[in-house]
Structure formats: structure tokens, C-alpha cells
Amino acid sequence: MDYRKSNAPTTTVTRDMMQLCADTGNVYETVAIIAKRANQISAEIKSDLSKKLAEFASYNDNLEEVFENREQIEISRYYEKLPKPTLIATQEYIEGKVYFRNPAKEKEKLQQA
């Protein structure tokens, strides 16, 4: 996924927590949902970066051949400029792009019926 195309801000934004927790009714549950999604995004970004930087890996032990690679620097700069995973996850949650469920609440509803 191209996270550059995300509507997430690149800086910290103050949010109304009561508006954020309207779906779940619990601030802590909402924060847990966003945190889990942020961990998923972080893992995706890390694996993408590792794959791209693996192309530039040098398997020689000769220190004289070490040099700066412009492509490698550009890739690193691209990933540094991306919004933080927590900001991306929060934006996805606000836009309704995050699927979540609470098995405990579902079980409780089944017992009441």
C-alpha cells in the first residue's frame, strides 16, 4: 500500500476523544484498535523498507569499497517523510477503513438473546 497517498497528517493533531470513541463507546478500546492497526502498518513499512534496502546490501568485507548510494539515500528519505504509523492508523479509523470486532461483546449479545 502506498502510504504517501494517505490523507493522514504528517504532524501531530489534537483529536476529540469523545468523537473518536463514538463507535465503540470506550476510549480504551478505541485506542487499542488504533494501536493494533498502527503495529500492522509499522510492520508493513518495515518489511517494504527492508526489501528495498536489501538490493543495496554489500556482501564484501572490504571497507574501501563502501560508498554512499544515492538511490539508497532517496529510499530512506521517502520513508522518513511518511506520516507516522499511529497517524495513518488514526486517519484510517476516522475514515471507517479499519475493520474491528469485540468477541466478548458478541458473546454477551448472544447470551442476552
What would the pLDDT profile of 73-99 be if each residue is shown by its tens digit? 888 888 888 899 999 999 999 999 998
**% the chain with pLDDT above 70:** 85
Burial of 41 (0-12, 13-18, 19+ CB in 10 A): buried
pLDDT at 54: 83
63 pLDDT above the threshold of 80: no
pLDDT at 59: 65
Q: Per-domain residue ranges for the chain?
A: 16-57+67-112
Backbone angles phi, psi at 77, to 5 degrees: -65, -40
What would the pLDDT profile of 3-51 be if each residue is shown by its tens digit? 767 778 878 888 888 888 888 888 999 999 999 999 999 999 999 999 8
pLDDT at 108: 79
- The pTM (predicted TM-score) of the whole model is 0.78
Backbone angles phi, psi at 89, to 5 degrees: -65, -40
pLDDT at 73: 83
